[in-house]
Structure formats: structure tokens, C-alpha cells
Structure 1
Amino acid sequence: MTRILILDGHPDPDPARYCHALAASYAQGAAGTGHVIHRTNLSDLDFPDLRSRSDWEEGPTPAAILALQDQLAWAEHIVIVYPLWLGGMPARLKALLEQAFRPAFAFGGKAVSPGGGKLKGRSARIVVTMGMPAAAYRVFYFAHSLRSLKRNILALVGIGPVRDTIIGAVETRSDESRKRCLQRLRRMGEQAA
């Protein structure tokens, strides 16, 4: 039994968004095999953007962020699902990570000390959807923003290993292909992978 936090990082609350279905499918698979899950939807959270280093280091932490930090500390495995927007994660998801990974929480003190905080030893799965084919993102763009999230954010705070799943051409996939992707995420949830 693994404690899993699923962060649905699509900022649009419209239930028709494919990311929401992918997050739900992973959650169903995980819960169905006895894993304990908590799901957080970015679109449900209310928090301000950080505007200065002093806000990040010493400013008050909003209630929604404190709750997310508790969930991150509780989790053994973290799943982040989001759409690729303009070559990267949505700005609102980046703002959430900036808020959550404050030095006192993510680095174990005021100074940035890689891997020294409360998140060391957790594993993660990143699921990214996009309009372009997945192969084009990996080969032509070198999965740049995904690699940055893995190396410059998650690994920096001690989360690892971090695995990824890229689901490309989401707008042009057939219904059958979309169902296969949902089944794939459900199997990942069953295995807490």
C-alpha cells in the first residue's frame, strides 16, 4: 500500500479536459488495488503568485499551500498531470510549485540546499499531454520543459526517481486511442508507478 498524491495540474476546471480524465483514471487504478490516494486539483486552489525572493523565503504561506505541503509530506509517490502550454507547464502550475517548494519546507531551511527538505525519498510520475506528437517533443524539442521540471525542481528538492509519460496529439487521437491512454494510466495507478 502506497500513499499517493495526484496533482491535477490543469488550470481549467472544465471537466471535459483530458488531463482530468487521466488523473481520475490513475486514481481509480490506485484506489482499486488498495493504495491510499489524495487528489488535488490546481483549478480548485486559491493562492497568489510570489513576486519577490523575500516573499518566497519569509512571506506568509497561504492556507491552500500549507494544505498542499501537508499532502506532499504525507505522500510516498507524487503524480503530476498537466498540459503542455507554449512549450512548458501552465504558469499557474509553476506558481503553485514555487509557493509549495519554499526553502523552509522543500530545502530544510532558509538557504537552498538541494535534497535537504521534507521531500527526500519520494518518487514521482509526470504525465504531460500536448497537441504535437510525443516523438516530436522528445526528439526535436528534447522534452526541454519536462527535463527542467524533473531536474531543476523535483530532483532539486529530493524527489526521485521521477518517471514520465508523454501523451501527444491529444486533439487528433481517436476515442479508442484516448481510452487506451486512460487504461494505461489506470494500470500505472494499480502499480503506483
Structure 2
Amino acid sequence: MNVLIVYAHPEPRSLNGSLKDFAVRRLQAAGHSVQVSDLYAMNWKATLDAADSLDGAAGERFDPAQDSKRAYANGRQSPDIAAEQDKLRWADAVILQFPLWWFSMPAILKGWVERVYAYGFAYGVGEHSDARWGNRYGEGNLAGKRAMLVVTTGGWESHYSARGINGPIDDLLFPIQHGVLYYPGFDVLPPFLVYRTSRVDEARYADVQAALGERLDTLFSRAPIPFRRQNAGDYEVPALTLREGIAPGQSGFAAHIVHPGRDQVFASEQRISSLTEG
């Protein structure tokens, strides 16, 4: 299988650098083909602007969406953008690896997303009507591929727990996993997380490496996060709010993930209610 690692850390001798090198070796040893987009080493341009089209802005002012659409449709994108899109087409799985800086990905990786995810490639795809609202959230040009985050952070695991001061890690990563990855169609695997990076000694590094190795070994077999599909019936279209009776009593990020036990109980209650009323 083909695996693309999009890597964002400025220091090759860092913990991230070591884990990235280990991941490449592990995947290749398992017979996979691997490409790495090392954004700092590539001196990746992070800012989305009119120069992303070989023709510049179409009008008197730069329109990020429409100029992106025109450049993508006409094969007039900046070569670095087109090259990364080719890597995404090639990949069966994509790993985004980065340190958690100020509760999100580094700016250079965000810039990779903004520039590579062109209109017509990662968004603006499919029919928009009262029946469906584009091919997204489980559909899209990247459907059928897998994705996983490898994230390091200096904070303790407890700081990112359900009642931790930094907020639950699943909530912090939701915009990346559900938005950046699931939106254009990826099946998103649970993230691989390393906490308290300043306290990784030789013994703990061996444990981290072993755990990452196990996750890489199951990259194509582990069950993805069961996000709800936009066009599968859970959402009112075009409002795109959950239908009445879906995830009752829930709101926020967790409502957009299928919880089998909870959903099955509700479905059973609905059937019983329907039979009683009948």
C-alpha cells in the first residue's frame, strides 16, 4: 500500500523527527511504499494568495475560493500545490504528524491544507440540492483512503482529559479529524498521541516506539472513528442539523459520532413507542 506522511517539525533531531524516521522504516519493512512531505525541509509556502495560480487573480481582487477553483480546473495551479495533490491521489493512507502548538497544528501545516485542498479537489465537489449538500463528510475525492494523526504535546495526559484544564484532546483534534480529514472523504483512525514530550527518556522512548509500531502495523485494519455521514440520513438537508431523534440529548462534537450502544437503545425505544402508540 502507499502511505504519505505529511510532517511538520522544524528540527530533524527532535522526538518528532525520530518518530517520523521510525515510521518510514516500519512501514517500508512491512512492504508499504512511503513518501514524506517534510514541510520545513521543503520550505513550504504557508500563505494562500494569488500566486497560487499561474495566472494570478482573475479579477481586480483576489478571491481565494473562485481563483482556486479556476486554477484547479484549468491545470494552472502552482507546481508545489499540484505535486502535493498528486501525492494524495497516490496515497492509500495519509499520516499528518505534528506537535500540538497553541492547541492546533503548526501554521506551516495549516498552510499546506489551505493551499493543497483546492476548490474542486477537496471541497466544492458534488451536487448541492435539497437532497444532498455536496460530496463531503464521508464522501468526496479522497474517499476510500485512510488517515491518522500522530501528535505530540508537552502537556500531561490528564491536562487533556474530559475534565482537564486544556479541554478533552478529542475536542481539540475534532476540527482536524472531522473537518480537515473526514470532510473530503478520509476514513479517520483514532490518533496516536504522545504526552509530556520533555519527559521522554530512553526507556519511555522504547515504549512510545513500540506503541507507534503497533498502530502502524494496523493502519489498514483498525476501525476508523465512526463519524456520521452527511448524506446518509442523519442530517436535515440543507440545514445540515441532526434530525430529530438522532443523538437525543447530545450536542457539540460528540453528537456527530455514532455511539452504537446509545443509538441502538434509542432506536429500540422508538420502535417500542411506535408499537404502543399504534
Alignment-derived partner of residue 142 in structure 1: 168
Task: Give the whole-Å Cα distance in 1 for the aligned partners of 2:102 and 2:46.
Answer: 22
Counting matched residue pairs gives 190
Alpha-carbon offset, residue 48 of structure 1: 4.7
Structure 2 counterparts to residues 12-161 of structure 1, below 5 A: 12=10, 14-45=11-42, 46-51=44-49, 52-59=64-71, 60-107=76-123, 109=125, 113-114=135-136, 115-139=138-162, 140=164, 141-143=167-169, 144-161=171-188
Give 5+ residue unaligned stretches, structure 1.
none
Between 1 and 2, higher relative CO (CA 8 Å, sep ≥ 6) is seen in 1
TM-score normalised per structure 2:
0.62
TM-score normalised per structure 1:
0.87
Alpha-carbon offset, residue 94 of structure 1: 0.6
Structure 2 contact 3–34 (Cα < 8 Å) conserved = yes
Q: Which has the larger radius of gyration?
A: 2
Structure 1 contact 7–78 (Cα < 8 Å) conserved = yes
Structure 1 residues 191 and 28: alpha-carbon distance in aligned structure 2, compared to 1, 3 A threshold: farther
Superposed CA RMSD? 2.2
Identity %: 23
Task: Give the whole-Å Cα distance in 2 for the aligned partners of 1:67 and 1:138.
Answer: 38
- The letter for the 2-side match of 1:3 is N
Structure 2 contact 66–119 (Cα < 8 Å) conserved = no
Structure 2 contact 181–188 (Cα < 8 Å) conserved = no
Richer in helix (by share) = 1
Structure 1 residues 56 and 142: alpha-carbon distance in aligned structure 2, compared to 1, 3 A threshold: farther
